[in-house]
Structure 1
């Protein structure tokens, strides 16, 4: 764990100069024009002299000026250059000048047919990758005609019940040439099996397809709560995808370890960083216990972060993430393949920061957040549409969100230089603070026996809940200003929104009836029985790249027999059980 910056002759001289500046420049200026905090003047944001006390959005204290005295004496030698360990400045030596980040808009609504048209629209307007949003029933492993699905089909994403739906979703889209990210967790391996079968039916070489499966079940228990099975069997399914992917889909990321939803639940930036990276550690531990070699699966581990409003804090978070992951993979796990040590991540702008009040203000918020992600070195980026606090985005709002990325890429100049803020005393100090806080959390989580044990004891959940409460209290007290919400408030009409009615459920139900009538239900029953028998067994040792009890080959058989998402998940429930969170005070 990094210690506080030491003092040497250079930092000592800087400290002297800083003290002289405080006394002869700052203090006289403040005596003439006293500072006022942004927001209400309360004890929490005034110092003992009654002067403004500043902090990041996460509550990290921020000084008025940063100098070399605020950094470790060896900070430059430990910083490295872009493309060199510890990769603080980026994993590629030339940043974005060789290849821009992937512009991947998160999209999905109503039926597979309608979402397919939206995807073609995005690709035609310069999108360079797709990101699939699934509706709540699909996320929970339910078919559209399940009674629990009523009122939710197609509302927050696209409804996918069957292999036929997946074929429709990607009709006319070449999956060997288009990278696809899929935001799905508990039923992730089921949806992935459908995707792989569609790719093969298109004639794609599975060794060439690229994209990302979110598949991060740990953050579901921590933050988003869209889980089905208990932690241990859920982790088994995740490791099955690692094992299968390392053998058959070497360019596809089987997981996107996600801090995004942790941040959306109310965490600080430091908590998002620490819990996300430690989730990564937990996945590595479970994969190693299976018998996988670190350098066989680690190069395809990817991450997913939130980019919030505090510009410099977010940039520091991304830079610290790369440095920490390099240290973890080399020092804790002895990874030898450089790609195993690379922190590769997708970023999405902060949905939780969007306001229903004066929603067009969100265009500015998203632009700031996107710029922070780019300056932080993200590999791909989704920019939220300004109307997402009201409903699923309209086509016009989606186009503005995509154009925001394109303006950054082609008009701002920020893509021309690798890590242009590297060496900034402020950014480097914030990066140091992020790293220090993350390792402090790592020590606590190690002492608890890992993240699964910590989740069972409610530790990350309680930490996030407290951070969320503290932030909301500050907003309600006026200490934090949200433009258009608790300051600069005006009344204005709501914009036109996209509305999804119940006709989607009716159409999906009709398709399911037809599917069950025309398929071989005996073949479905046999494939589901074989899947359950494989899932009942402890994962066997890896031989020839994949263990005999890996569930993916059995899932593929179920998919080919035209079993539905709900039928497959219900079959696994009989073997794996379901999970209900215990409330912990």
Structure 2
């Protein structure tokens, strides 16, 4: 049996004399979240009883995974984020990714679509199709999914302030093909809180935005039962500069707020909670990332059981997608990003993800080339089928270091959540600028460590080679795409019934003015009548206004 006396004996007789002759690389070893790491971990560092803290896969507290055999049955969904230019351009990329081994679609939308602007809006002109596909009318959704059976593939859409319009387009497309809504599977991000915190692609003020988000949750669980109506996102929080602890704390605090608001509407928690999903980043510090995923899963189970009295197993389980860290990629020596993303993908697999996107090695330079996107799929396949990590559930479970680090991240995250709850919840914390300030401080600390050389970044502050000659193919959206998109928009408008468009938008405005009406059916009706994203969003802007973020620094 290991005792404190035995550890002290080892330190005095072996460790200290060894270090005195062979100096360690650093005076302190810190994770990116500023957690100090000891030279050795033993059973004495593992807290609590096994079943209470660690348990078995598929059982509360789900530390070891939400399914009993995890990837022995099927691996995670291989879901590469893609979208650019026009609908047909993205459809072509989707088809090639599916042929290469992708098992689920993940649609990137351009900034005008995300901000509720049609491509002919003067503010949209330079951004049409640049960072995602332009998606302004439901027939564009039909075109982007052409030849892809909607009842056999799940589709994730990274869309927030216009999530209702995009899901309505997907529903309209499915119905036009005779696909039963009980069969379609996918996700809209619909996480507006993290937009205020980190990403900043919001349209409306917080209160109506939360109503909009909850309307999607309510409509989806009743009418599109396999659909995940929200993907509560820590990814963008992390990419904005948060460390792993803040990522967990702020993401779960956002989740608490969404559940609270939905329950306040009178919807039983077990009716909608099984449809909730999460989205985390996968960074390069392998052990901290694995511990982060395990801690988040355990914490969410406790939140749902103890705070919301959820009873169903599916209500307690944290189901999450992972994307490897975009901010971890370097434009310098871009090919070595393949190594970074492989480690990050490995962390996601060891952490028990349900879905995974691996960033392409060229994404610090441009949109992914076809070659780079295919290599990213191959990374997932090698991790899944060659590494051996999918052969048993939670292979890192029982590691003294990982169990200690899981506990440490959880304890630190709980303190932050308790502080947010003390402010009245995440919406109140956002109004005070608390998460924004914490992320800014974390980003500053992490960047300072890189610039001072305390944190190594290969190709930046170690092994920097200004004359590195890479073979990176730079992908660019063709300029003629904008004209193609604008011409189709003009055609759609010329062919529709303007009276039906006007009436549907008037109905939407009237319902948006009422507090006790779910506006989803009215948005869906407007979309089916031929309204565009810009027109639908403008109707809601006229009622709710636009949000201008206060200066908090």
Query: TM range, normalised to the smaller chain?
Result: over 0.9
The match for 1:47 is none
CA shift for structure 1 position 501: 3.6
What CA RMSD, in Å, does the superposition of the two structures yield over aligned residues?
1.0
Contact 2:360/2:376, CA 8 A, preserved across alignment: yes
CA distance in 1, matches of 2:154, 2:141: 15
- My pick for the range that moved more, 319-328 or 68-77, is 68-77
**What SS does the corresponding residue of 1:257 show, helix, strand or coil?**
strand
Correspondence for 2:502: 525
Counterparts of residues 333-372 of structure 1 (less than 5 Å): 333-372=308-347
Indicate conservation of the 8 Å contact 1:145/1:508, yes or no.
no
Give the conservation status (yes or no) of the 8 Å contact 1:14–1:68.
no
Could you say which residue in structure 1 is the equivalent of 2:523? Answer: 555
Instruction: Return the alpha-carbon distance in structure 2 between the equivalents of residues 467 and 577 of structure 1.
Output: 32
TM-aligned CA distance change 1:556 to 1:76, over 3 Å = closer
Q: How does 1:103-122 map to 2 (within 5 A)?
A: 103-122=78-97
Would you say the 8 A contact 1:14–1:67 is kept in 2? no
Deviation >3 Å, runs of 4+: none
Distance 2:152 2:314 in 1: 22
Q: Which residue of 1 aligns with 2:469?
A: 493
For 1:45, the equivalent position in structure 2 comes to none
Whether the 8 Å CA contact 1:145–1:505 is kept in 2: the answer is no
Deviation at 1:582, TM superposition (A): 0.3
Report SS of the residue matched to 2:231: strand
Counterpart contact for 1:257–1:303, Cα < 8 Å: yes
Match runs of 1:275-286 below 5 Å: 275-286=250-261
Q: C-alpha offsets along residues 435-481 of structure 1, whole Å, 9 cap, x if unaligned? A: 11111011101110010010011000000000000111111111111
Name which of 222, 234, 243 aligns with 1:259: 234
Q: Output the TM-score relative to the length of structure 2.
A: 0.98
What is the alpha-carbon distance in structure 1 between the residues aligned to residue 551 and residue 431 of structure 2? 10
Q: Deviations over 1:22-41 (max 9, x none)?
A: 1111011111111122xxxx
The CA distance in 1 between the partners of 2:518 and 2:6, in whole Å, is 63
**Where do residues 130-145 of structure 1 align in structure 2 (5 Å cutoff)?**
130-145=105-120
Output aligned runs, 1:264-343, within 5 Å: 264-343=239-318
Give CA deviations for 1:261-284 in whole Å, capped at 9, x if unaligned.
000000010000000011000001
Partner of 1:572: 540
CA distance in 2, matches of 1:348, 1:485: 23
Match of 1:221 in 2: 196
The answer to whether the 8 Å contact 1:153/1:502 transfers is no
- Structure 1 residue 54: deviation in Å? 0.1
Which of 455, 460, 466 is 2:430 aligned to?
455
Q: Which of 166, 170, 184 is the equivalent residue of 2:145?
A: 170
Separation (CA, whole Å) in 1 of partners of 2:547 and 2:146: 36
How far apart, in 1, do the equivalents of 2:31 and 2:483 lie?
48
Q: Report the 3-state secondary structure (helix = DSSP H, G, I; strand = E; otherwise coil) of the residue aligned with 1:346.
A: strand
Q: Paired residue for 1:241?
A: 216
SS of alignment partner, residue 449 of structure 1: coil
Is 1:157 matched with 2:146? Answer: no
Give the conservation status (yes or no) of the 8 Å contact 2:47–2:53: no
Secondary structure at 1:148's aligned position in 2?
A: coil
Residue aligned with 1:404, SS: helix
- Counterpart CA distance in 1 for 2:10 and 2:326 is 41
SS of 1:96's partner is helix
- 1:534 and 2:511 aligned: yes
In structure 1, list runs of 5 or more residues that go unmatched.
Answer: 1-9, 38-51, 540-548
In the alignment, structure 1 residue 35 sits paired with structure 2 residue 18: no
User: In the alignment, is residue 505 of structure 1 matched against residue 517 of structure 2?
Assistant: no
SS of 1:64's equivalent in the other structure is coil
Task: State the distance in 1 between where 2:3 and 2:370 align.
Answer: 53
Once the two structures are overlaid, the 10-residue window that deviates more, 63-72 or 448-457, is 63-72
Q: How does 1:379-528 map to 2 (within 5 A)?
A: 379-490=354-465, 491-494=467-470, 495-528=472-505
Aligned equivalents of 2:527 and 2:46: distance in 1? 56
2:12 corresponds to: 23
Larger CA deviation: 370-379 vs 148-157:
148-157
Instruction: Report the equivalent of 1:84.
Output: 59
Structure 1 Cα separation of the partners of residues 410 and 351 of structure 2: 15
The residue aligned with 1:206 is 181
Contact 2:52 2:61 in 1 (8 A): no
Report the alpha carbon displacement of residue 510 of structure 1 after superposing the two structures with TM: 1.0
CA distance in 1, matches of 2:474, 2:526: 38
SS at structure 1 position matched to 2:107: strand
Please give the alpha-carbon distance, in whole angstroms, between the structure 2 residues aligned to 1:73 and 1:168.
55
Offset from partner CA, 1:125-177 (integer Å, 9 cap, x none):
11110000001111111111110112111111111111111110101100011
Distance in 2 (alpha carbons) for counterparts of 1:73 and 1:170: 50
